[in-house]
Structure 1
Amino acid sequence: MAASNAKKDGIWETVKTIVYALLIAGVFRTLFFQPFWIPSGSMKDTLLIGDFLFVNKMAYGYSRHSCPFSMCPFDGRIFGREPERGDVVVFRHPVNGEDFIKRVIGLPGDRVQVIDGLLHINGDPVEVTPEAPFEEVYERQGPIGHLPRCSNAPVGEGAICEKEAATETLPGGVSHSVLNIQDGTRGDNTPEYVVPEGHYFVMGDNRDNSIDSRFPQSVGGVGFVPFENLLGRADRVIFSSAGQRMIYFWTWRSDRFFHRID
């Protein structure tokens, strides 16, 4: 009988340990940092497929979307702090509920337009300085096995895939790299958008490979992102792997471990 009771006590202690661990993990994920894998190439070359980061959830305060399954029991935002232009943010898509990562381009009240591939904010073109092309190997990337798009296409598997690159400087002085695959894509010329109060205009750095605020939700885009949908700010890559499985250590990108996101 004593052995049976000891066994039951051991099982109960194991269950409690698991429950406590899950509760602690849930609190940590809700209040502090949320893990996020980069699944697509929309933010190249700032973020690469297979980058792993923790989203800083303290950066902008908390909304109902801060809890798993958007279950936080309050409306609006508490401890709210507005993002700055140029921040790389993770947000909940206003329609389909997926988590996206993009760069904040337009703040409330801004007028944003793309003309012939050049970003304009409040009627003025942003400063753009050409860079050497971004190069990567034309091969399948990440668990899904995406093949990159190339400005020098067609290229064979294993060859060098290029994209035109430039440094874009936003009003306020934040500079970052942007990529261009081809001219004349549907995101290269847009209407002028006026960002509503309490919303933000976001874009991917890999401009021809990003579904973002340039495209209204009615055509499958992101549209304007409400402040309450922001989950947090991406500050630093923690780990990075170019392979289809994290355990493939020979595909790890050690030069990107703890890499600062600009």
Structure 2
Amino acid sequence: MKLIGPVTYKTILVLFGLYVVFGALTQCASFSMTEKKLKKEFKDAPLQPQLLTYEVDGRTMGYAQIGDINKPMIVFVHGSPGSWNAYIDYFKDTSLTNHACLVSVDRPGYGSSGAGEAEPSMQAQAAMIAPILATSKSSQKPVLVGHSLGGPIIARMAMDFPTAMSALVFLAPSIDPAMEKKEYYRHFLKLGAVQAILPPEMVASNLELMPLKGELDKMMPLWQNIRVPCTIMHGKKDMLVPYGNVPFYEKMLTNVPKKEVVTFENENHFIPWTQYDSVKKKLLEYVR
């Protein structure tokens, strides 16, 4: 059978079938949380989150915020796909909100930040998220937290705006271009017929992941710009973003006052939820 890269036509047909089923199941789904559901989630909570927006480069960006703006700010950046409410459990945790103002963004192409309107450039995404940092009224600069694809985005923010934050926390980040393998099926997912059955956030995810290796290559000479304390938390059984990103982190961060590695021997990719207590403990260390 003829090959397209390493992918056969049979494989493409199987993928198409899977995505038809996936689309049928998810076309009514949304990665965003409605205000009605949000109110229900926080019905008995002592604090209520705000859903806020701002304009940058002709686009509307949305984010959620909870807690006292005068306290140190923690900014969460989700992976691909995702939305701000990936971190909703952190928003409900008073042991965090007693010490910090929590912000979680909808990255470009997701939720209230133009669902489906992908922005493949790491530099552009960093610039679009950066205005949030200036809203903090604390004397301490914000701590940035990035999971998966959120990892290279907070790295790019620290490269381009090196004095705008106080620390970086990487959770299973995809930062090493050598770890990014060609995924030929993503070209198939660009077909209009396939995109038509997918949620807009899934379309955005595909469009930003296709050029990711090239975007990470562009960042290679910029790692020396990062000058704040950093922590990486990664599981050795991560099948989505290899643990091999950890040695890259250790090698590339040459000008930081601290580069900490937290390894979970039996953990997968979903550290923000499966290692919640460990992540929370680390965040509290950075804001207390």
TM-score normalized by structure 2? 0.19
Between the two structures, name the one with larger relative contact order (CA 8 Å, sep ≥ 6): 1
More helix by share: 2
More strand by share: 1
Query: Which protein is bigger by CA-based radius of gyration?
Result: 1
